[in-house]
Structure 1
Amino acid sequence: MFDDLRRQFVDLAQPRLGSEVVFATDDFFADKARLIAPTEPVFIPGKYDDNGKWMDGWESRRKRTPGHDWCVVKLGVPGIVAGFEIDTRHFTGNYPPGAEVELCVSDEQVPGDDAGWVKVTPRLELKGNDRAWFPVEHATPATHVRLHIFPDGGVARLRVWGRVDPDWSKVGEGEAIDLLAMAWGGRGIVANDEHFGRVENMTAPGRGVDMGDGWETRRRREPGHDWSILELGTFGRVNEVVVDTAHFKGNYPDRCSIQATARAHGAPHEIAQQAESWPVLLPEVKLQADHIHIFRSELADLGPIRFVRLNIYPDGGVSRLRMMGTVAR
């Protein structure tokens, strides 16, 4: 299920988009910032700090007064929320049995109770050492999430699955932007192989921090080549492509090419079938290790596009893919 979610949506609460946990009523046992850490939660036997057992998540102390605990996550970019993943892995005798989630739109760092919070879930029942998905219907873009836990305890991770809702009015006429950037709504759809790294990493801000922060396939032992399909945040005319193989030295692709189209439809596997016959945007070009490759004159004029297929030959890793261009108005 969770693999399907990331093919439809992005985690709006991920720190690399600028999201952060800005408030918690109590994080005595485990720092609130860990709640949205991009890594999978871990359990380290025998690891303690001054306050007790170290846990990979957000954990409040045992409440001895009336009330409950909550925290606030400020999203790095506004987004339409489709649902929440509440992960209590490794929290067994210390997880909260109940939770509720609220959303709001605010310019404040930590919105108060008067910020127009909207409750988007009923009282949710949680289990220990579990991952649960709670879909919501809320068409208004959100900037903040408030997670209530009843009455106290620990949550390993909160994922806020949805779609970035860019303000295109901020993009000037003819202004060049990275149309594939996660912050502008770009996303990975599907790939034939994501053994070492996810497709969505190629749309993330900045350069990759290490080999794990990119798309990387396993070593191909059979004929053919690997590929991935991504969606731009909106229709745009691409005039520059950047293929960054940062940190990929003994495992970068030897060559790459890119196909593109304006329209695609259906499930990821159906789009993958359609992509085989998409027109060529960038013909097959040679790549180097740990290098920023910029292509301009090599690009075909396909007009406005929305979807791209990156082909790598025969396999390997790409840190970032940038599709620089202008919004088609």
Structure 2
Amino acid sequence: MQAEAPGAMHVAFADLIDLAAAKVGGKALLANDEFFAPKEAMLEPGRGVFIADKYTERGKWMDGWETRRKRVPGYDWCIVKLGLPGAIHGIDVDTNHFIGNFPEYASLEACEVDGDPSAESLAQDVSRWTELVPRSRLRGGSRNLFAVANERRFTHVRLNIFPDGGVARLRVHGMVLPDWHALKTAGLVDLAAAANGGSVVTCNDQFFGTKDNLIFPGRAANMGEGWETRRKRVPGFDWIVVKLATAGTLRRAEVDTHFFKGNFPDRCSLEGIHLEEPLLDFANATHLKWKELLPQSKLQADHCHVFDKELKDVGPITHVRLNIFPDGGVSRLRLFGEPA
């Protein structure tokens, strides 16, 4: 799929988690050139900013990865370790603000390796790499979206740009594929965690904080790293649906309102369901028979609430719905259980 244009159709893979994002542990390990702008910026949130009068001793400051002008044959490359190993379904090579200095072409390769090999060894071993996106033309100042048809598990990617230039952000969208053998021997598993393969399917509102934040690793660094809805001016409540990494029986839940002090929900509840087939439209699926896991319970500001004895045993479930009353923000949701 070629670069996104104004009014273009929405690309489904872009809703999948970014396996390479810095906030889930992604790291830019090595680049052959980062003369004008560092490789690490490619994995940061947002699409980058442009500051007209900002310069460094090497030239114009740019929010992204930018190499020098190439005067010899060849191309530039950067190796990224995925924060969450998994199957890659699409990438976004975003050249936002790079107009006269974007690469003409790009390609992407990936590999799966055990342990923590050096980036130098990965760069030298060309036999490890599998091409996922062939050399493809880019547009400047645009999100360049490319679908990937491959179900293999990968741990690293290499972005190649031809011949040189700048990339604001690299997004590697896909499905997390954890090591379930190791997880099942570790006792209770956080079945909601993105790192274990959990995913946020949908929510009714994510005005201030995006839905995927709810299941990211670690505690949030600030309020902006949680899920937050707008102020509700009509009767009702807000909700979010999490697809568990695998079917399981819930034993403990943690609802963390870290950093939410004047905007935390007054109460929350949890419901679960076991679905045999995938479902896309939860908002209009009135036929679903959700089972109560946790009745409405009071919440506090900036606090990690732990519920265990309060949880009802409804057997194995595949999805959990967190309801918040009437609105507000939740930093993290942890759902510990026994895989079925």
Match of 2:273 in 1: 261
Aligned with 1:239 (options 248, 251, 266): 251
Matched, 1:194 2:206: yes
Match of 1:250 in 2: 262
Counterparts in 2 of 1:175 and 1:205: CA distance versus 1, 3 Å = same
Provide Cα deviations, 1:103-142, integer angstroms capped at 9, x if missing partner: 1112323213334211112211101000021001112101
Q: In the TM superposition, what are the counterparts of 1:140-219 in structure 2 within 5 Å?
A: 140-173=152-185, 175-219=187-231
Q: Is contact 2:257-2:301 (8 Å) kept?
A: yes
Matched, 1:46 2:58: no
Q: How far apart are residue 3 of structure 1 and its match?
A: 7.7
Counterparts in 2 of 1:272 and 1:233: CA distance versus 1, 3 Å = farther
Q: Is contact 1:87-1:131 (8 Å) kept?
A: yes
Aligned with 2:290 (options 273, 278, 284): 278
Q: How far apart are residue 181 of structure 1 and its match?
A: 0.8
SS in 1 for 2:281: helix
- Count residues in correspondence: 327
CA distance in 2, matches of 1:272, 1:71: 44
SS in 2 for 1:16: helix
Name the TM-score, length of structure 2 as normaliser.
0.92
Q: How far apart are residue 77 of structure 1 and its match?
A: 2.8
Q: Is contact 1:229-1:272 (8 Å) kept?
A: no
Q: How far apart are residue 214 of structure 1 and its match?
A: 0.5
Counterparts in 2 of 1:122 and 1:254: CA distance versus 1, 3 Å = same
Counterparts in 2 of 1:62 and 1:311: CA distance versus 1, 3 Å = same
Provide Cα deviations, 1:197-243, integer angstroms capped at 9, x if missing partner: 11110101111111100000000011111111111111111100000
State the 4+ residue runs in structure 1 displaced beyond 6 angstroms: none
Counterparts in 2 of 1:68 and 1:3: CA distance versus 1, 3 Å = closer
CA distance in 1, matches of 2:155, 2:81: 6
Unpaired stretches in structure 1, ≥5 consecutive residues: none
Matched, 1:130 2:130: no
Q: How far apart are residue 160 of structure 1 and its match?
A: 0.3
- Higher mean C-alpha displacement, 268-277 vs 120-129: 268-277
Q: How far apart are residue 63 of structure 1 and its match?
A: 0.6
Aligned with 2:82 (options 75, 80, 83): 75
Match of 1:117 in 2: 129
CA distance in 2, matches of 1:66, 1:56: 26
Q: Is contact 1:259-1:275 (8 Å) kept?
A: no
Q: How far apart are residue 273 of structure 1 and its match?
A: 2.0
Letter in 2 for 1:273: A
Match of 2:25 in 1: 18
Q: How far apart are residue 325 of structure 1 and its match?
A: 1.4
CA distance in 2, matches of 1:280, 1:109: 48
Matched, 1:5 2:13: yes
Name the TM-score, length of structure 1 as normaliser.
0.95
CA distance in 1, matches of 2:186, 2:71: 59
Unpaired stretches in structure 2, ≥5 consecutive residues: 1-8
Counterparts in 2 of 1:319 and 1:270: CA distance versus 1, 3 Å = closer
RMSD of equivalent CA atoms: 1.7
CA distance in 1, matches of 2:158, 2:185: 36
Q: Is contact 1:83-1:133 (8 Å) kept?
A: yes
Provide Cα deviations, 1:269-317, integer angstroms capped at 9, x if missing partner: 2466258631111111000010110011111111111111110000000
CA distance in 2, matches of 1:98, 1:263: 43
Counterparts in 2 of 1:70 and 1:113: CA distance versus 1, 3 Å = same
Q: Is contact 2:13-2:147 (8 Å) kept?
A: no
Letter in 2 for 1:230: V
